[in-house]
Structure 1
Amino acid sequence: MYGWLRRGLFTLPPETAHDVALNALRLGGRFGAARLIAGCPVAAPVDHLGLTFPNAVGLAAGLDKNGDFIDALGQLGFGFIEVGTVTPKPQPGNPKPRMFRLTGHEALINRLGFNNKGVDHLVERLKARRFAGPVGANIGKQKETPVERAAEDYRYCLERVHPHCDYITVNISSPNTANLRALQDTGPLRELLAELTAARDALDAEHGVRRPMLVKIAPDWSDEALHPSLEVIADSSIDGLIATNTTLARDAVAGSPHAAEAGGLSGAPLLDAANHVLARARDVLGPDRTIIGLGGITRAEDAVAKRAAGADLVQLYTGFIYHGPALVRACAQALAETGDDG
């Protein structure tokens, strides 16, 4: 059924298709249509970050930036959902067109630029959700905020989402906000994580609840640059890592239509680079820090490969767009069958 739906959606421009699909899903969810498409969710609970996840497969941030579709998406078999990236104030993002399909590669390029309705809107949606699984809030900085003052934006968002989500992700790796990735350098990274974990600890004490915090990193590193930044993360009070965001590399899609478009590439061509960073992260962070594997999963075997590389949980985005809820179920079942040892 999803293959038929996808054929119709792929006749539309990507961002239009995104909006149509989510609104149709929300409408259909009220009548049980989403569950008919997805089937019964895989029940394979796992415990990480002090939370119980109904299964190990989550929806990555970016698909539901504003939290408007949490309950509808929750009917598609995900064990957890991450919303955002959200910024302190609403912002429109980059000019359109800003999303492109590379269908032959099962890939997307986007340069959305943190388009969202602002953190206050997201908070209202978090408060209204009924989805029973963990929901993470992915936070970022305003486009016009200088990178030297980025911590102010992250802290502002942190303070507002903290009472209403289950975990928080600090996004320092989008390629579509100018200079954002400079926050991955060891000095700025150390300062940012120290400030945000201290703020988180104070909020935990104030609200009487522990909110795990993760940081989301890019795949575009040399090993020489990656290792020191991973050591900074390992030495911090951050609870976990998401590896990885989209890539600026185009080697795997060179010559394809839209390959030269600016923005981050996601989907199948990202798998190897994302898994390389994931494996290095596990080496540096050790066995106890939670790592969510993201990037390039288009079949169940890819999710298992991320588990083997060191992931405790996985997230889907582009693969979900191409393959729908069947991919969620297949990955969750495969991870449940392989267990924690890969």
Structure 2
Amino acid sequence: MYKYILRPIFFQFDPEKVHHFTIALIKIVFNIPGIGWFIRRINRMDDSRLEREVMGLKFKNPVGLAAGLDKNAEVYNELADLGFGFIEIGTVTPKAQTGNPKKRLFRLIDDKGIINRMGFNNNGVNEAVKQLKKNKGKVIIGGNIGKNTGIPEDQVTSDYLTCFKELHAYVDYFVVNVSCPNVGVTAKLQDKSYLVELLNTLQIDPLQNEKRKPIVLKISPDLNINQLDEIIEVVQETKIDGVIASNTSINRSGLKATEQQLNDIGNGGLSGQPIADRSTDVIKYLADHSNKSFAIIGVGGVHSGEDAKKKMEAGADLVQIYTGFIYEGPGLIKRINKALLK
């Protein structure tokens, strides 16, 4: 139904407008008595063989929703009924910000990809906390945290720490997002010594002594071998729990989209099937060269059960979907879990 009826309709309209419409529609539909139960009945697969224990957390299944769809933690309770094993909210910044100028979200339909330059648009950490206080405990929640755009370099650590402290009681794990290409990231965030400093600051925060929350680092698929080696060193030195591989890409090679189309779109991070192999290669390199010493969450181009299996065979413990969810619909979650059971 989604691919043959809803998607063709949705794809007639601006992607960002469709996103906001979909969030509003989810809220309305799930307020109808019995709808949540019915959707859970259709979509969820409760099978002990799908359970995974990763980073000290027990996941009902290994298929999660990547950050970017539920930026402001508005519909995670509803999305949990679709069968996700975990949901990542954000990216959240200390203060609300509008992000980059529109138009900033583009479909590459022939490539089954998306280019975005959203720029961490969100309602700020305080609004996210208000929403997370409504958590019904259906699903593991990750908090993806970032910095406000345009702040001085000496305030970057403070921004991450503010989000970390405010969200600590309300999320199950943290994602430190330093690899988004759309927020004017300073050179500081690409520096190994600074990454160690930032992650150690989060690790030794007093809240971690009260109840430790796993921390993972979200990295770019465009890193070279030396940079990937540095990531392994950073994880091992700071003793964080793992890596999300990967964020969006600025590489445009191998696309079916024409050069004119890409020029019309302009800058942004590429996600979806075009980065599937790249992200899988990053996963395999990290797993092989770290002796699988930390958790890896695989994301990038997961549009089928076979795509998810490739990520896990490469070394991913869990997988996330986002662009695949847009193109393939909610049924993708169940199809992936069925494929993994086989």
Structure 1 and Structure 2 fold alike (TM over 0.5): yes
Match of 2:334 in 1: 329
Give the match for residue 10 of structure 2. Answer: 9
- AA aligned to 1:56 is P
Say if 2:113 and 2:274, in contact at 8 Å, map to a contact too: yes
Moved more, 228-237 or 259-268: 228-237
Does 2:82 match 1:76? yes
Code of the residue aligned with 1:40 in structure 2: it is N
Distance in 2 (CA, whole Å) between partners of 1:328 and 1:246 is 21
Q: Identify the match of residue 316 of structure 2 among 311, 319, 327.
A: 311
Q: What stretches of structure 2 of length at least 5 have no aligned partner?
A: none
Whether the 8 Å CA contact 1:74–1:131 is kept in 2: the answer is no
Distance 1:25 1:322 in 2: 17
The answer as to whether partners of 1:219 and 1:243 remain within 8 angstroms in 2 is yes
Map residues 12-23 of structure 1 onto 2, 5 A cutoff.
Answer: 12-23=13-24
1:278 to partner: Cα distance? 1.1
Matched, 1:283 2:288: yes
Where does residue 172 of structure 1 map in the other structure?
Answer: 178
Which letter does structure 2 place at the counterpart of 1:30?
A: N
Shift of 1:35: 6.4
Counterpart for residue 115 of structure 1: 121
- Give the stretch that moved more between structures: 146-155 or 308-317: 146-155
Distance 1:181 1:102 in 2: 29
C-alpha change, 1:180 and 1:27, in structure 2 (3 Å) is farther
Any runs of at least 4 consecutive aligned residues in structure 1 with deviations exceeding 6 A, and if so which?
Answer: none
Displacement after TM superposition at 1:181 (Å) = 6.5
1:56-84: per-residue Cα shift (whole Å, max 9, x none)?
A: 00000000100011111111111110000
- In structure 2, the residue corresponding to 1:143 is in which secondary structure? coil
Residue 145 of structure 1 corresponds to which residue in structure 2? Answer: 151
The answer (yes or no) to whether the contact 1:147–1:183 under 8 Å persists in 2 is no
Identical counterparts, % of pairs: 42
Secondary structure in structure 2 of the residue aligned to 1:17: helix
2:274 matched to 1:272? no
Match of 1:203 in 2: 207
Q: 1 CA distance for matches of 2:289 and 2:233?
A: 7
Which secondary structure state, in structure 2, belongs to the residue aligned with residue 293 of structure 1?
Answer: strand
Shift in Å at residue 257 of structure 1? 6.2
SS at match of 1:18: helix
Distance in 2 between residues matched to 1:284 and 1:232, nearest whole Å: 13
* Matched residue type, 1:234: Q
Q: Which runs of 5+ in 1 are unaligned?
A: 338-342
Q: Counterparts of 1:42-191 in structure 2 under 5 Å?
A: 42-43=45-46, 44-180=50-186, 182-191=188-197
More displaced stretch, 117-126 vs 130-139:
130-139
> Is 2:173–2:214's contact at 8 Å kept on the other side of the alignment?
yes
Aligned to 1:263: 268
Write the deviation string for residues 4-50 of structure 1: whole angstroms up to 9, x where unpaired: 11121111100001111121112112235466567231222211111
CA drift at 1:323: 0.6
Contact kept? 2:215, 2:242, Cα under 8 Å: yes
Q: CA RMSD in A?
A: 1.7
1:64 counterpart SS class = coil
* Partner deviation per Cα, 1:281-311 (whole Å, 9 max, x = no partner): 1123332411100001111100000001100
Do the aligned residues in 1 keep the contact of 2:39 with 2:81 (CA within 8 Å)?
A: no
Give, as a single letter, the amino acid of the residue that structure 2 aligns with 1:192. L
Cα drift, residue 226 of structure 1: 2.1
Q: SS where residue 108 of structure 1 aligns?
A: strand
> What secondary structure sits across from 1:277 in the alignment?
helix
CA contact (8 A) 1:174 1:245 kept: yes
- More deviation, 208-217/282-291: 282-291
Distance in 2, matches of 1:22 and 1:181, equals 34
Partners of 2:277 and 2:158 lie apart in 1 by 34
In structure 2, what residue type is equivalent to 1:109?
A: I
The TM-score normalised by the length of structure 2 is: 0.93
Q: CA deviation at 1:326?
A: 1.3
- For 2:45, the aligned partner's letter is V
The aligned length equals 333
1:320 corresponds in structure 2 to 325
SS at match of 1:251: coil
